[in-house]
Structure 1
Amino acid sequence: MSDMSTEPGHGHSPAAWTAVVVMLVATALGTLFFWLDMPVLVWASVGLLLIGAIVGFIMSKAGYGAYGDKYSAKEH
């Protein structure tokens, strides 16, 4: 068995949560705009999806990722 205290907490960092929330909102909006036949806004939501990935990467590099110095894993 692995020691749970050495696990970095995959996906539990502020960077991961922020990226996922932004990307989920972009996907929901893109689906809505596709259904409403608004192609410009569909492409805008694709841009928001990419921005979500970039924000997560930047936050990770700023120390808010699973291995960052500004993140402390919580015990479960």
Structure 2
Amino acid sequence: MAGHDHGHTPAAWTGVTIAFIGFCVAGAFTVAANPLGFWAGMVIIVLGGVVGAAMRAAGLGMPKAQHPPQPQPQPAAQSQTQTQS
């Protein structure tokens, strides 16, 4: 993945860092048997996704032009006629 520069953007790093902090908070409060703290951690996790998406929309994510085109699957009828030719 390093060759494709996948996720090496400020938006990705910020979103993942915030979500990781949320997982740590939720995990700590799970061990402490505190449901309110657990749900606060879950809110932080969702906040990480929202912040990452907002930063991507602001232009701090990977531009869409850099995404490689995905190969389109061919229907079975077309692939059979191509192999018979």
TM-score range, shorter chain: 0.7 to 0.9
Structure number with greater Rg is 2
More helix per residue: 2
TM (norm. structure 2) is 0.69
Q: % of aligned pairs identical?
A: 32
Residue in structure 2 matched with residue 34 of structure 1 by the alignment: 30
Give the Cα separation in 1 of the matches to 2:25 and 2:46: 14
Q: CA deviation at 1:60?
A: 0.1
Aligned residues: 62
Q: Give RMSD over aligned pairs.
A: 1.3
Runs of 4+ aligned structure 1 residues displaced above 3 Å come to none
Unaligned runs of 5+ in 1: 69-76
Q: CA deviation at 1:55?
A: 0.2
TM (norm. structure 1) is 0.76
